[in-house]
Amino acid sequence: MVPSSGGLTEEPRGSAADAAGVVVFGCCAAWALITAAGRDARPEGMLLALLAVAAGYAFGRIGGALLPVAVPAAAAFAGAFAALAAPESLPGAVVMVPAPGHGGAETAQLALAAGTACCAAWAARRGGTRAVLRLAVAGIGVAALLAGSPVGCVVVVVVLLCSSAVARTRRRAPVLAGCALTAALVTGGTVAMAGDALPDGPAAVLEGRLTEHRVLLWRDALGLAADRPVLGIGPDGFGALSETVRDTPGSDGKPHSAPLQLASEQGLPGVALLGAAFCWTLFALSRSPRSTPVVLTAGASLTALAALAGVGNALSFPQVTVAAGLLAGVATSRPLAYGTGPEPVAAAAPDGPGRPARVHREGDGRQAEGAPGN
């Protein structure tokens, strides 16, 4: 922990973000139970997803503090291997085709794996280690393409390019605000598509990419949300009331859009809590003691996940929610040994007689100075 110029520390800032996260996720769990009360509903799925995020976040915080390079690198490649080597082991995972609307668990895992590996690269001290990790991320993209997942390849490349582009960025807020705007635009486009509010030309193109079946599921979800905007129909109740699901043998009973699923099952407050959870993640990243490249790389990867969740069922898989929590935990951790990468203490030299050392931290444009001597 690096002292700040006013004798304060970064600990209170992180503590405030942690407290806000407890409140947000506690409200998510409580609302799931409230909307399930007195109904034939099953809130277990929502509660397990929250537990998976919390477990991944705790592991990421601990691992990122103790081994800020080894832990995220190992987790990233384990996740990528799980997505590429055994895609059939992901129940309900969508086989990737060249269309953004078909984002499934595999693509989400690849996006998170790429972001986690890039965070490990930024935390590495040696340039050779950073280069190897980035080449490994590029290799994940090539492997995804060879495995028949072109969308996964594109997402990995986008995350890698975003991570490289933020190398000299000093201000976090504008980039994180752009992440929030991107997620909002994807959600808004999904709702507009479900509500038949787009012009005929773009709507026809998107429907061809997304498939008519998926759009029909979205319209069912939007209709159910309009009928019961406050409490929804109850967690895990979409499959029982959706006409499209009933007419589709073998359907997984989900609308393949996290915002629309929550809108139909937990009402508008459920959607607001989902948005609050994502905004809290960006807020926690903005307050993180890690370097700005690490923070913005994680932000880009989590935004890719938010976009995939807006048009798919990525958040329905525990391996995805665990990986998302782990990435957020790594990016908000406080490494115990500041000699592990370019973000910690890079140089410390006394400013003169009677003055303590001035500490510079590469990567996020911050520095902390001691109080002048008498």
Confidence band for 348, pLDDT divided at 50, 70 and 90: very low
Q: How far apart are CA 148 and CA 14, in angstroms?
A: 41
Q: Is 249 helix (H, G, I), strand (E, B) or coil?
A: coil
Looking at the chain, the number of H-run helices and the number of E-run strands are 14, 3
Q: How far apart are CA 340 and CA 291, in angstroms?
A: 12
What percentage of the chain has pLDDT greater than the value 70? 81
Q: How far apart are CA 187 and CA 190, in angstroms?
A: 5
- Nearest to residue 222, comparing CAs of 206, 208, 236, 233? 233
What percentage of the chain has pLDDT greater than the value 90? 63
- Nearest to residue 152, comparing CAs of 190, 187, 112, 212? 112
The beta-carbon contacts of 36-41 under 8 Å, at least 24 apart in sequence, are: 36/234, 36/235, 39/233, 39/234, 39/237, 40/234, 40/237, 41/233, 41/234, 41/235, 41/236, 41/237, 41/265
Strand arrangement of the beta sheet that strand 357-361 belongs to: 345-350, 357-361, 367-368
DSSP secondary structure string for all residues of 213-243: HHHHHHHHHHHHHHHSTTT-S-TT-HHHH-H
> What is the chain's mean pLDDT, rounded?
84
DSSP state of 250: T
Q: Is 266 helix (H, G, I), strand (E, B) or coil?
A: helix
Q: Nearest 5°: phi and psi at 350?
A: -65, 140
294-296-301 Cα angle (round to 5): 95
What pLDDT, in 10s, does the model give residues 24-60? Answer: 999 999 999 999 998 888 999 999 999 999 999 999 9
What pLDDT, in 10s, does the model give residues 226-251? Answer: 999 999 999 999 988 999 998 888 78
Q: What is the pLDDT of residue 345?
A: 36
How far from 324 is each of 14, 77, 110, 129, 230, CA to CA, in Å?
19, 14, 11, 24, 28
pLDDT score of 179 more than 90: yes
Q: How far apart are CA 279 and CA 332, in angstroms?
A: 14
Q: What is the pTM of this model?
A: 0.84
pLDDT score of 358 more than 70: no
